[in-house]
Amino acid sequence: MRDVHVHFLHGNPIGYNIDFFEGFIKAAQAAGLDEIYLLEHTHQFIEFERVYKPIKSYNDFQNEWITKRMNGSIDEYIGFIRKVKDIEYPVKVKFGLEVCYIPETADILRNILEKYDFDFLTGSVHWIDGWGFDHRGQKEIWESKNIEEVYRRYYNIMFQLCESGLFNGLAHPDSIKCFGYKPGIDLTGYYNKLAVLLNQYGMYAENSGGLHLNYSPDIELGLNSQLLSILRKNNVQIEAASDAHKQSDVGANIVELENMLKNE
């Protein structure tokens, strides 16, 4: 069993060190996992500053949010990976990034990512035309939005993310349901197109328990049933992902998320 979305240091002041890292190995073992994908958010690293320009300029809240979190260099992460990569552990570990895909700065992003060689890159959509739609501090902006248009933009940005060819995986598709706003339109066409693009670009999609774990247990676990069934019908590779932000959450809900991928 594998968990493909575990946040590693995530701004923790403890810094990159072996003891902290081995805590993840132990947590993974306790959760019955034989492989974890550790990742960091691109917004943690100063090297990605220019990518987030449209996000920071959207409003003061977002500017402060990004500025506060962008407090380290990717070189520290890479240095640590080099140190532990060849040590044998009972759990396999891949090291990567969760990369915010922001169409406005996609060219800058590409140039930055070209310099690095991670085990995997997972692309995520957290921003729609500058707005952090899944941020609690930005939730009220939903009220001024056309829900259908927000959903259309969300899917179109995910299509561009896939077509960029930069990524191995797509993080939490369906995160747009984070605050419970539902569109009055049929999304079948969008789901089908997403399935085709994921296959075309050789990407996996996450069946993520992130919203359920980190937002509210009232949110359904994983992908909505229609999206899941369309991805499965198209034989898209689907991977269970906890979106753990701390060691005690490694492997959270993974058995349930895996079970959703088995034939009835």
Which spans of this chain sit near Zn ion (rule: CB under 5 A)? 98, 124, 171, 243
- What b/e string do you get for 177-189 counting C-beta neighbours within 10 Å, with b at 16 or more? bbbeeebeeebee
CB of 117 to Zn ion, least distance (A): 21
CB of 101 to Zn ion, least distance (A): 11
Angle at CA 117, nearest 5°, toward 49 and 121? 70
CB of 7 to Zn ion, least distance (A): 6
> What is the length of the chain?
264
One-letter amino acid at 46 equals I
Chain residue whose CB lies nearest Zn ion: 124
Closer CB to Zn ion, residue 96 or residue 230? 96
Sorted by sequence, the CB contacts under 8 Å of residue 42 that are 6+ apart come out as 48, 51, 97, 98, 99, 100
Closer CB to Zn ion, residue 105 or residue 175? 175
Closer CB to Zn ion, residue 100 or residue 195? 100
Tokens of 137: 């501090």
Largest CA distance in the chain: 52
CB of 204 to Zn ion, least distance (A): 15
Closer CB to Zn ion, residue 112 or residue 171? 171
Closer CB to Zn ion, residue 105 or residue 124? 124
Please count the other Cβ atoms lying within 10 Å of the Cβ belonging to residue 65. Answer: 19
What letter does residue 220 receive in the DSSP assignment? P
CB of 53 to Zn ion, least distance (A): 20
